[in-house]
Amino acid sequence: MTSAERKEAISAYVFITPFLLAMIFMTGGPVLAAFGLSFCKWDILTPIQFVGLDNYKEMFFNDPRFWKALYNTAYFTFLSVPIGMVLSIMVAMLMNQKVKGIALYRTVYYLPSVLGTGVAVAVLWKWIFNADSGLLNYMISICTGIPMSECPKWLASEAWSKPALVIMSFWGVGGGMIIYLAGLQGIPTALYEAAEIDGANRWQQFWTVTLPGLSPVIFFQLIITIVNSFQIFNQVYVMTDGLGGPADSTLVMVLYIYQKAFKYYQMGYASALSWVLFIVIMLATWLQFQYSKWVYYEGELRK
C-alpha cells in the first residue's frame, strides 16, 4: 500500500469505529450465542443441553408449522412489497409538487406510521376488518353493491387473513413516501431542464430522469422492505392475539419464533428457526445485489 492509501484506510477505520464497537461488543456476542443455542435445548429454567442438529432435523422433517410459517411470510412479502413500493413512489411524486397545503398532506400520509403498532392500532384495524359491521366491508358494499354478508370475512377467514395483513401494510406508505421524497429532492433539476430542452414530455422524463435518479433509493427501499417484511411481527401479534390464526393462516416466521421462545420455553429451537430465516433473508438480499445493474449511481462507489 502506498502511504496515501494507508492514510486513507486508517482514516476510514476511525470513521467506522462506532460501528466496529457495536459489532464487537453488542452484536457479535448475542449473535454467536444465538447460533450456539440453535444446537441446544434450553427452557431458561433448566440448564442448557447440547443436542447437535436435532433442532434442524425436527424443523425440516417433522414440523409442518415451520413450512406454513415460511409460506405465510413469503406470501405476505411478495404481495406487500411490490404493491407498496409502487404506491409509495406514486404518493411521493404527488407530494413533490408545490400544491397548497402540501405540508399538511404529507403529515396526514405519514400519520399512520407515527402511530406505531400498539394495541390501540390493533383495536382500530380489527374494527375496520370486522366482517359484519366494519368500515372496509361497508365501503366495499357501497362501491360494488355486494351485500356485507357476502364480503370477505378477513381476519376470521383462512383465505382472507393474509390479504387483510397486506392491506394493512399499505396504510404505512407514508414511511416509504418520505424516503422517496428525499430521493426525488436529490435529483438535480438541471437534468429535467436538459431533458425538456431535448423534447421529452412528462412521461418520458419520468422514465429517463426520475426513475434512474431514484434508483439508488428504490434499491435501498427494496432491500429494506423485503428484510422488514420477512420479519413482520408486531402487527400480526396484536391483530391475532399472538396466535397467528385462524388455523395458523397468519403464522409468520417471527411470530412462530416468538411463540417457541417465550410461550413454549424452547429457546434452542427458536434460535434455530431464526438462523434459517436469516439465511433466507441473506439469500434474498444477495440476489438483489447480484441483479442490481439497473441501479444508476450519479456519484458511484469509489472502486
Partner 1 sequence: MKKFRLALAVAACLALVSVLNLVGCSKLGGAKIKISSWGSPEENQILVDLLNDFQAKHPDIKVELQRIPYNDYTTKLLTQIAGGLAPDVVFTEVGNFADLYLRGALEPLNPYIQADHMDLSGYYPQVLDRFTVDNQTYVIPRDTAPICVIYYNKKAFDESGVPYPTDDWGLEQFIAAGKKIMKTDAAGKVTRWGFIDDWVMPEPWVYDFGGSYVDNVKHPTKWTFAIDPDTLKAIQFRADMMGKYKFMLPPAGLTAMGGMGTGDMFMNGTVGMFISGIWKTPTFRQIKDFKWDVVMMPKGPNGFRGFATGGSGYGILKSSKMKKEAWELVKYISGEEGAKKLAQTGLAQPALMKEANTTFLDNSDPKNKKMLLEAVKFVKYPPMAKNWDEVTHSIIGPELDKVWNGTETAAEAMAKLKVVLEKNEPQAK
Partner 2 sequence: MADQIMNSVSSPDGFWASKRRIEKFTKIFTTVVLSVGAVTMILPVIWMLSTSFKSPTEVFAVPPIWIPSPLHFENYPKAWTISGMYASEGITFTTYTINTLIISVLSCLGVTSSSSLVAFAFARLRFPGRGPLFILCLATMMIPTQVTMIPTFILFKTIGWYDTYFPLIIPAFLGGGAYNIFLMRQFFMSIPYEMDEAAKIDGCTNFGVFWRILLPLCKPALTTVAVFSFVWNWNDFLNPLIYLDTNSKKTLALGLTNFVSLYGQDYHLLMAASLLIVIPLVVMFLLGQRYFIQGIATTGLK
Contacts (CB under 8 A) with partner 2, residues 170-229: 171, 174-175, 178-179, 181-183, 185-190, 199, 201-204, 213, 216-217, 219-220, 223-224, 227
DSSP letters, 260-273, are IIIIS--HHHHHHH
Output the CA angle 11-15-17, nearest 5 degrees.
Answer: 115
Cell numbers that stand for 120 in this block: 390501540
Site for partner 2 in 128-167 (CB under 8 A): 128, 133, 135
Q: Does residue 67 belong to the site contacting partner 1 (CB under 8 A)?
A: no
The gap from C-alpha 40 to its chain's centroid, in whole angstroms, comes to 30
66's contact among partner 2, partner 1, none, with CB below 5 to 8 A by partner kind, is none
Give the whole-angstrom CA distance, residue 255 versus residue 274: 11
User: To the nearest whole angstrom, how small is the minimum distance from the Cβ of residue 140 to partner 2?
Assistant: 13
Site for partner 2 in 237-256 (CB under 8 A): 253-254
Spatial CA neighbour of 289 closest among 209, 208, 222, 212:
222
Exposed/middle/buried for 201, CB within 10 Å: 0-12, 13-18, 19+? Answer: exposed
Q: Does residue 189 belong to the site contacting partner 1 (CB under 8 A)?
A: no
Selected from 45, 103, 143, 197, the binder of partner 2 by CB under 8 A is: 103
User: To the nearest whole angstrom, how small is the minimum distance from the Cβ of residue 239 to partner 1?
Assistant: 7
Give the whole-angstrom CA distance, residue 79 versus residue 170: 11
Q: Does residue 294 belong to the site contacting partner 2 (CB under 8 A)?
A: no
Site for partner 2 in 22-41 (CB under 8 A): 22-23, 25-27, 29-31, 33-34, 37
User: To the nearest whole angstrom, how small is the minimum distance from the Cβ of residue 85 to partner 2?
Assistant: 15
Give the whole-angstrom CA distance, residue 144 versus residue 301: 51
Selected from 107, 146, 207, 241, the binder of partner 2 by CB under 8 A is: 107
The amino acid present at 128, given as its one-letter code, is I
Helix (H) or strand (E) holding 221: helix 211-230
Give the whole-angstrom CA distance, residue 303 versus residue 300: 8
160's contact among partner 2, partner 1, none, with CB below 5 to 8 A by partner kind, is none
Site for partner 2 in 43-82 (CB under 8 A): 44
Give the whole-angstrom CA distance, residue 116 versus residue 122: 10
143's contact among partner 2, partner 1, none, with CB below 5 to 8 A by partner kind, is none
Residues that bind partner 1 (CB under 8 A): 11, 14, 43-46, 65, 122-123, 126-127, 129-134, 153-158, 239-243, 245-248, 259, 262-265
